[in-house]
Structure formats: structure tokens, C-alpha cells
Amino acid sequence: MSDRAPAVTPSRTAAVIPAAGRGVRLGPGAPKALRTLNGTPMLVHAVRAMAASRAVGLVVVVAPPDGAPEVRNLLDAHPLTGHDPAEILVVPGGETRQESVRLGLKALPGDIDTVLVHDAARPLVPVDTVDAVISAVRDGAPAVVPALPLADTVKQVEPRTGDAAGEPERVVGTPERALLRAVQTPQGFDRRTLDEAHEQVATEGEGATDDAGLVERLGRPVVVVPGHEEAFKVTRPLDLVLAETVLARRRANDRY
Ligand SMILES: Nc1ccn([C@@H]2O[C@H](COP(=O)(O)OP(=O)(O)OP(=O)(O)O)[C@@H](O)[C@H]2O)c(=O)n1
Ligand SMILES: C[C@](O)(CO)[C@H](O)COP(=O)(O)O
């Protein structure tokens, strides 16, 4: 018996995990993906979260540009368990998240048709969320994002010019909150759509804060599935406290 959750039929699905960021907002220390949560590197949690889906047969980890050997050693020291563990490749990343994802996509073999892109910085996403994203892609959506409604009201502010630096920002609008979603990862894609989106943007030289945003620029549909509170992104120091609390709660409930 495999210990990977039985939910989606195995197929040619890969997960790309960009893990090449510094984690500046987290403060001084090792690159964010290598910092530990309850003694285990965040990246290892993220790899396990992807491999927990029976549908994921390959995980491509995008390491800091000069850190691929270290990341390979780290993952070898924390092998996946179960009878059919996913294969793990490690490739060096780039200067931006978008560049790192592009480099991860280049490493995918030709027979992969569904791709997840998942932040190493979202180590605790539950397998049900991963499987919901994969199912929606297999049902025909070219791009799928897990997302949650917002708790806060969001304001749009005026862009600041050099002269206005230091002055209070001026609010120029309040988007209707009911129509806004906070988007998480893994984001799921039909592989050809995602390749096309990254190729087009690479030639246009524009940036995006998520991969689905690149697909939107192609004019292709992006659909939403329910996200999960535990799929939050570890960005600032308080997020580390929350992540360790979630892990402790899972242990207490014997879920991890
Ligand atoms: N050049 C980069 C920058 C980011 N990432 C990855 O993209 C994900 C989301 O990025 P973010 O949370 O912003 O991570 P950092 O860039 O490390 O954070 P910060 O902006 O605070 O430095 C992370 O898993 C991060 O490792 C990456 O692979 N390559
Ligand atoms: C991809 C993402 O996690 C979706 O919410 C987010 O845009 C990443 O942003 P970051 O500034 O690179 O952390």
C-alpha cells in the first residue's frame, strides 16, 4: 500500500516548485525554502505536499542559482516514502520567480501534459486542494487557481512619483470586495498553455506576480477552485509561528 492519498488517477502530471528566493521579508538567515518548520526544511514540506497527490509523478525543484547541489543533498537526506514516490529533479533558478518557473518548465520531459506550479513558501497546502486543482485542469480548464475570499477591504492607491515619496499615499478607489479573491498555489495548467504563456512573456520582457497572470495576458480563461487557509504563504516572521502551530495541530490530530 502506498501512503500517498488516493484521489486522482495517476497521469503525466508534474509539479514545479520555485524555491530560489532569498526570503528578504522573512529577515536575515538562510534562503527561505531552506529554513525549518518544526525541524524540517520548508522545501521538504512543500515537496511532500505535492507528492501527497497520487497524480503527481514528478517534482521539479528550482533551487537558488548557486545552490542546486546543496538542495539535491537536502532532498536526498529527506526521501519521499511510500511504494511509488514521485521522482524529484533539481535545477538552478533565476533572478525572479518568473524566471525560476521558466527554468523549471524547461526541465520537464516531453510526456508531461499537466503542470502544477507551487511556491516552496506554501509548505502546508492540503492534498485535497492539490487534487482539486489537478481535477479542474483535467476537466478542460487551461489554467486553474485555488483562491479564497478576502477578509480585509482593499484600497487602490495612486502611483507615487519621485517628488511624492514620503508623503501619505492617496486612495483612488475601493474595488468591490465580494468580487476579489486572494490567490494561492499550486496553480494548475495545461502544459502547452503554460509553456506558451512563459515563452510569450519572455519575449515581451514583462513581469507577473503569478503564472495564471501570464495566461490571462494570452486571453485564455483562468478558473478558480476553493483554496485553503493552510495554503498560506510564509512571507513574514509571524507566518513562521502560524506554520509551526498548524503543524503542531496536525500532529495532535495525527494528520502528519
Ligand atoms: N528568484 C526567485 C524568487 C522567488 N522564487 C520563489 O517563488 C516563491 C514565492 O516567492 P516569495 O514568497 O516572494 O519568496 P521570496 O522571493 O524568497 O521572498 P522575498 O520577496 O521576501 O525575498 C518562493 O517559493 C520563492 O523561493 C524563486 O524561485 N526565484
Ligand atoms: C504566486 C503567488 O503565491 C500567488 O499569490 C504570489 O503572487 C507570489 O508572490 P511573491 O511576492 O513572489 O511571494
**Torsion angle, alpha carbons of 229, 27, 88, 109, to 10:** 90
Nearest CA to ligand 2 atom 2: 210
Which numbered atom of ligand 1 lies nearest the CA of 62? Answer: 28
Using the mean position of ligand 1's atoms as its centre, give its distance from the Cα of residue 100 in Å.
9
How far apart (Å, rounded) are the C-alpha atoms in residues 128 and 82? 18
Q: What pLDDT, in 10s, does the model give residues 37-80?
A: 999 999 999 999 999 999 999 999 999 999 999 999 999 999 99
Task: Verify whether ligand 1 is closer than 6 Å to residue 214 (CB atom).
Answer: no
Q: In this structure, what CATH number is given to the domain that contains residue 195?
A: 3.90.550.10
* 139 has a pLDDT exceeding 80: yes
66 belongs to a structural domain: yes
Which ipTM did the prediction report? Answer: 0.98
6 belongs to a structural domain: no
Task: Verify whether ligand 1 is closer than 6 Å to residue 32 (CB atom).
Answer: yes
220 belongs to a structural domain: yes
Q: Which domain holds residue 44?
A: 13-145+182-252
105 belongs to a structural domain: yes
Cell of 4: 500517498
5 belongs to a structural domain: no
- How many domains does the structure of the chain reveal? 1
49 belongs to a structural domain: yes
Cell of 195: 509553456
Residue whose C-alpha is closest to residue 130's, from 59, 46, 241, 49: 49
Radius of gyration of the chain (CA): 18
77 belongs to a structural domain: yes
Q: Outline where 33-96 has alpha helix (H).
A: 42-51, 68-77
Residue whose C-alpha is closest to residue 193's, from 138, 103, 113, 92: 113
Residue labelled with grid coordinates 512573456: 201
159 belongs to a structural domain: no
- pLDDT value of residue 10: 47
Using the mean position of ligand 1's atoms as its centre, give its distance from the Cα of residue 12 in Å.
26
How long a stretch of residues is the chain? 256
Nearest CA to ligand 2 atom 3: 184
* 186 has a pLDDT exceeding 70: yes
Ligand nearest to the CA of 26: 1
* 137 has a pLDDT exceeding 50: yes
* 119 has a pLDDT exceeding 90: yes
Q: Given 3-state DSSP classes, what are the helix, strand and coil percentages for the chain, each rounded to the nearest 5?
A: 35, 20, 45
